[in-house]
């Protein structure tokens, strides 16, 4: 294809803040990604963190050895008091998908009911909890950025039902042990927006505000053992570059 046949233009003005012209014929086309056959299934370029068969891609946070949670019928389940687990795979800016189900048998209330958590880079927690007709403190409810921001809505399905988190995550940037930009999270729970480009105030903690601790540009996905047999399945991510750049 010659320059004259290529779609676009070469005689248009530059887009402010970018190196490309309006409708620039030389601007790279978006990469082709094969979409999933159905919602929630991994697209063609996804990195699978849990394939429903084993925990080979996960380790125990407590020991650094094998993850000791249960695997059955395509899902993994928290085994109480074995400790948190985390993915061997690490990532920075990413699109992340996972599904969870709180126990069908309702035991406890408030924070004692179906409690777990999803820690981005092993540090920044999105709360997992059974908040279906179960009041608790707002910044600890399902989909909360734990201890920081309540979700915009309670989108919980009944106990035992499978639910989904779709997360867009921008990792923090540090320079010379100084925070340059905080992590940012957009979260959809069962297709309902709970957070949009929310800037975090630090790593997750309980009954306190934790200071920033500089760390590397990549980290694991960590799942919490809070003593409840919460289940997870269909866990994957897509690394996404260029979100902080106006030149793409």
Is it the case that residue 247 has pLDDT exceeding 50? Answer: no
Which pair of tokens denotes residue 155? 């989108």
Does residue 154 have a pLDDT over 90? Answer: yes
- The architecture in CATH of the region 47-239 reads Sandwich (2.60)
pTM of the model: 0.86
Backbone φ/ψ region at 104: left (φ over 0), alpha (ψ -120 to 50), beta: alpha
What does the pLDDT look like over 72-123, one tens digit per residue?
999 999 999 999 999 999 999 999 999 999 999 999 999 999 999 999 999 9
Domain with CATH 2.60.120.560 in the chain: 47-239
The DSSP bridge partners found for residue 131 are none
Report residue 136 as tokens: 């608790």
Structure tokens at 158: 């009944």
For residue 40, name the pLDDT band (cuts at 50, 70, 90): confident
Sign of CA dihedral 91, 93, 94, 100: positive
């Amino acid at each position: 294809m010659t320059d004259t046949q290529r779609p676009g233009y070469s005689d248009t003005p530059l887009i402010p803040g970018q190196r490309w012209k309006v409708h620039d014929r030389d601007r790279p086309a978006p990469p082709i990604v094969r979409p999933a056959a159905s919602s929630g299934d991994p697209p063609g370029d996804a990195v699978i963190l849990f394939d429903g068969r084993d925990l080979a891609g996960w380790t125990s946070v407590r020991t650094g050895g094998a993850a000791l949670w249960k695997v059955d019928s395509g899902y993994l389940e928290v085994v109480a008091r074995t400790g948190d687990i985390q993915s061997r795979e690490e990532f920075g800016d990413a699109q992340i998908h996972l599904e969870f189900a709180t126990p069908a048998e309702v035991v406890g209330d408030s924070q004692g009911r179906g409690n777990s958590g999803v820690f981005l880079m092993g540090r920044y927690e999105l709360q997992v909890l059974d908040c279906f007709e179960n009041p608790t403190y707002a910044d600890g409810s399902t989909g909360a950025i734990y201890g920081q921001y309540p979700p915009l809505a309670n989108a919980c399905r009944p106990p035992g039902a499978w639910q989904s988190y779709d997360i867009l995550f921008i990792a923090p940037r540090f320079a010379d042990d100084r925070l340059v930009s905080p992590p940012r999270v957009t979260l959809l729970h069962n297709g309902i927006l709970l957070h949009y480009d929310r800037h975090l105030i630090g790593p997750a903690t309980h009954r306190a505000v934790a200071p920033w601790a500089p760390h590397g540009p990549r980290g694991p996905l960590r799942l919490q053992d809070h003593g409840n047999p919460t289940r997870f399945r269909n866990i994957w991510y897509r690394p996404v570059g260029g979100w902080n750049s106006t030149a793409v």
